[in-house]
């Protein structure tokens, strides 16, 4: 029935980094806890790719939920040990392959913050403390109360006190005197601000066997973008039945739900327990949560990238007994790892071995500086973005498909780099790949592939700029950049 204490978790973080110095680095968060404790995380990565997606996983926000910091630490152990040994790993009945481990480590920056609230954990575990403490240990001057619920303190509709959010200082869900009033939540903001390539996020809580996704303040709808957390006209009208629903593009609803289902399936493979995937609002309205804040950032500031965000509610109690604790750690590890696999970009997946970091960076620049300027280009980017996880899984599982995709990407990029026209061979390779994919993909991806096939025909006999219908000359842009850098 024993758990790691705060010192033990810090020892573990340091030990993992010391055992795998090329794979794991300790990240010291800029702000200490309210009781002046240094807060540590890990960054896991391998290989030389400079430009990569990031993922952030946070545990231990709520003090009494003891199992999750250990689960986050376990993920770090599994990933680093497996990568160092060039193997996959098992958690219960769930297997992650060497390919998945390799691609996770070589194409992502994995940020792990096992214990976001060390003061709270210390209070839970010390003699004379309180084992069911939830909040941090901020002394709320003039109130006689202690603690802020860190998962209500972020800047997402913080001012709206809905449902399971409170403005009464002694309540367990007190949202604090201001948004980001607490150093522990400012650390999360710092991680997201300082690493704008983070695209996937999970905040791991207990309990109830749930995978939650945004929104938490109200139902989601995709028809009216004016019904938004950004629109003050709706202040005071959120979180109640009827009248208001928070806008989210349908493709994001789908992406969240499908990723959630993949996480659920990975967890179920551990020992057969089926977590429920649903929007957070289906439970109870909330504001100021890590999940909603992380996802909402790109809407509040369009210059920021989109972060797909989740809350896990692991297990069936806060502090399970030893045998059950080990099973919950396995389930959470499987769920977090599946999220990381879904965070891998399909182009990274097939390009990392073929092209190396520099050419992959060139490809990303081409996407950002040329393709985004064209309706055709943006639609192709959207297809890849929307279906990246499904395509990635298929390519990981099927060497023949991966080989075909690699050949197509290589042939396309050679023509883009050399300024040559897209010939019949390219169209043939694209058609063959689509033909192979069609029988094994979801109906949504099949529809997208059919649209992409029609688009591909439009490139035949043209240079890429003409196919995309853009005036930007990639060759000229690329050469100017090359001469500047040399």
Partner 1 sequence: MRYFVMVEADADQAFESLGNLGVDLFLGTSHRKERRVEALVTMEEVGRLVDLGFRVTVLEGENRRSRAIEIISFADWLETVR
- Cβ distance to partner 1 smaller for residue 3 or 190: 3
Query: According to the binding rule CB under 8 A, does residue 18 interact with partner 1?
Result: no
Q: Classify strands 210-213 and 276-279 as parallel, antiparallel or unpaired.
A: parallel
Query: According to the binding rule CB under 8 A, does residue 11 interact with partner 1?
Result: yes
Q: Single out the residue of 90, 99, 208, 222 in contact with partner 1 (rule: CB under 8 A).
A: 208
Query: According to the binding rule CB under 8 A, does residue 290 interact with partner 1?
Result: no
Query: According to the binding rule CB under 8 A, does residue 285 interact with partner 1?
Result: yes
Residue with tokens 């003050």: 232
Residues near 378 by beta carbon (within 8 Å), at least 6 away in sequence: 371, 372
Range 366-385, binding partner 1 (CB under 8 A): none
User: CA-based diameter of the chain, in Å?
Assistant: 77
**Taking the complex as a whole, how short is the minimal distance between the CB of residue 66 and partner 1, in angstroms?**
6
Query: According to the binding rule CB under 8 A, does residue 92 interact with partner 1?
Result: no
- Cβ distance to partner 1 smaller for residue 127 or 439: 127
Q: Which helix (H) or strand (E) holds 270?
A: helix 250-271
Query: According to the binding rule CB under 8 A, does residue 131 interact with partner 1?
Result: yes
**Taking the complex as a whole, how short is the minimal distance between the CB of residue 127 and partner 1, in angstroms?**
7
Nearest of 45, 50, 55, 57 to residue 103 by alpha carbon: 45
Query: According to the binding rule CB under 8 A, does residue 144 interact with partner 1?
Result: no
- Cβ distance to partner 1 smaller for residue 252 or 313: 313
One symbol per residue from 322 to 361: x for binding partner 1 (CB under 8 A), - otherwise; what is it?
----x--x--------------------------------
Taking the CA atoms of residue 396, residue 398, residue 404 and residue 405 in that order, the dihedral angle to the nearest 10 degrees is -20
Query: According to the binding rule CB under 8 A, does residue 2 interact with partner 1?
Result: yes
Residues near 395 by beta carbon (within 8 Å), at least 6 away in sequence: 346, 349, 350, 401, 402, 405
308, 56 contact by CB (below 8 A): no
- Cβ distance to partner 1 smaller for residue 7 or 440: 7
CA–CA distance, 254 with 256 (Å, rounded to integer): 5
Query: Which pair of structure tokens corresponds to residue 391?
Result: 């395509």
Interface segment toward partner 1; rule CB under 8 A; list 120-128, 182-190, 438-446, 461-469: 120-128
Range 160-189, binding partner 1 (CB under 8 A): 162-166, 168, 170-173
CA–CA distance, 206 with 125 (Å, rounded to integer): 17
Residue with tokens 């709270």: 120
Nearest of 253, 249, 316 to residue 280 by alpha carbon: 253
**Taking the complex as a whole, how short is the minimal distance between the CB of residue 31 and partner 1, in angstroms?**
24
Our measurement of the distance from residue 190's CA atom to the centroid of its chain's CA atoms, rounded to an integer in Å, reads 16
Query: According to the binding rule CB under 8 A, does residue 132 interact with partner 1?
Result: yes
Query: According to the binding rule CB under 8 A, does residue 153 interact with partner 1?
Result: no
Nearest of 105, 91, 94 to residue 55 by alpha carbon: 105
**Taking the complex as a whole, how short is the minimal distance between the CB of residue 328 and partner 1, in angstroms?**
12
**Taking the complex as a whole, how short is the minimal distance between the CB of residue 422 and partner 1, in angstroms?**
51
Residue with tokens 């006209």: 233
- Cβ distance to partner 1 smaller for residue 283 or 384: 283
Query: According to the binding rule CB under 8 A, does residue 124 interact with partner 1?
Result: yes
**Taking the complex as a whole, how short is the minimal distance between the CB of residue 10 and partner 1, in angstroms?**
9
Query: Which pair of structure tokens corresponds to residue 408?
Result: 């197509």
For 407-466, give the DSSP string: HHHHHHHHHHHHTPPB-HHHHHHHHHHHHHHGGGS-HHHHHHHHHHHHHHHTTBTS-HHH
Size of residue set near partner 1 by CB under 8 A = 53
- Cβ distance to partner 1 smaller for residue 65 or 465: 65
Q: Which helix (H) or strand (E) holds 276?
A: strand 276-279
48, 357 contact by CB (below 8 A): yes
156, 189 contact by CB (below 8 A): no
- Cβ distance to partner 1 smaller for residue 119 or 393: 119
Q: Single out the residue of 205, 404, 463, 478 in contact with partner 1 (rule: CB under 8 A).
A: 205
**Taking the complex as a whole, how short is the minimal distance between the CB of residue 4 and partner 1, in angstroms?**
6
Q: Single out the residue of 284, 397, 425, 482 in contact with partner 1 (rule: CB under 8 A).
A: 284
- Cβ distance to partner 1 smaller for residue 159 or 207: 207
Residues near 97 by beta carbon (within 8 Å), at least 6 away in sequence: 88, 396
Nearest of 150, 7, 9 to residue 76 by alpha carbon: 9
The site for partner 1 (CB under 8 A) is made up of 1-5, 8-9, 11-12, 15, 64, 66, 70, 74, 77, 81, 124-125, 127, 129, 131-132, 134, 162-166, 168, 170-173, 205-208, 210, 240-241, 282-286, 313, 317-321, 326, 329
């Amino acid at each position: 029935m024993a758990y790691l204490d705060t010192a033990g978790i810090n020892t573990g973080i340091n030990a993992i980094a010391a055992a795998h110095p090329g794979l794991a680095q300790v990240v010291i968060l800029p702000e200490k806890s309210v009781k002046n404790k240094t807060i540590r995380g890990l960054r896991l990565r391998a290989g030389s790719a400079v430009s990569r997606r990031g993922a952030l996983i946070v545990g231990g926000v709520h003090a009494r939920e003891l199992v999750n910091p250990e689960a986050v630490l376990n993920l770090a152990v599994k990933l680093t040990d497996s990568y160092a040994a060039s193997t996959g790993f098992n958690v219960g009945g769930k297997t992650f392959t060497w390919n998945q481990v390799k691609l996770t480590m070589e194409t992502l920056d994995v940020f792990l913050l096992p214990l976001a609230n060390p003061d709270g954990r210390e209070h839970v575990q010390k003699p004379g403390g309180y084992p069911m403490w939830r909040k941090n240990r901020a002394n709320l001057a003039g109130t006689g109360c202690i603690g802020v619920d860190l998962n209500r303190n972020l800047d997402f509709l913080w001012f709206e006190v809905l449902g399971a959010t409170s403005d009464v200082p002694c309540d367990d869900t007190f949202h604090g005197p201001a948004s980001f009033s607490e150093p522990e939540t400012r650390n999360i903001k710092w991680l997201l601000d300082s690493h704008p390539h983070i695209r996937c996020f999970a905040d791991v809580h207990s309990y109830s066997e749930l995978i939650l996704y945004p929104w938490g303040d109200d139902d989601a709808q995709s028809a009216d973008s004016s019904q938004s957390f950004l629109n003050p006209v709706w202040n005071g009208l959120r979180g109640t039945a009827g009248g208001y629903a928070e806008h989210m593009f349908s493709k994001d609803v789908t992406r969240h739900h499908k990723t959630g289902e993949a996480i659920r399936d990975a967890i179920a493979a551990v020992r057969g327990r089926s977590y429920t995937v649903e929007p957070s609002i289906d439970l109870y309205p909330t504001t100021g949560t890590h999940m909603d804040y992380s996802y909402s950032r790109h809407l509040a500031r369009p210059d920021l990238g989109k972060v797909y965000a989740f809350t896990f509610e692991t297990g069936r109690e806060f502090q399970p007994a030893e045998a059950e604790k080990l099973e919950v750690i396995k389930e959470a590890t499987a769920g977090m790892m599946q999220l990381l696999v879904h965070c891998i970009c399909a182009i990274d997946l097939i390009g990392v071995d073929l092209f190396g970091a520099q050419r992959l960076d060139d490809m990303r620049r081409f996407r950002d500086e040329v393709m985004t300027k064209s309706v055709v280009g943006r639609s192709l980017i959207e297809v890849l973005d929307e279906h990246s996880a499904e395509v990635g899984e298929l390519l990981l599982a099927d060497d023949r498909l991966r080989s075909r995709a690699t050949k197509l990407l290589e042939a396309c990029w050679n023509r883009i780099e050399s300024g040559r026209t897209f010939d019949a061979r390219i169209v043939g390779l694209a058609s063959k790949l689509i033909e192979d994919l069609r029988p094994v993909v979801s109906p949504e991806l099949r529809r997208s592939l059919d649209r992409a096939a029609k688009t591909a025909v439009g490139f035949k006999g043209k240079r890429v700029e003409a196919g995309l219908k853009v005036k930007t000359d990639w060759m000229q842009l690329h050469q100017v950049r090359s001469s500047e850098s040399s």
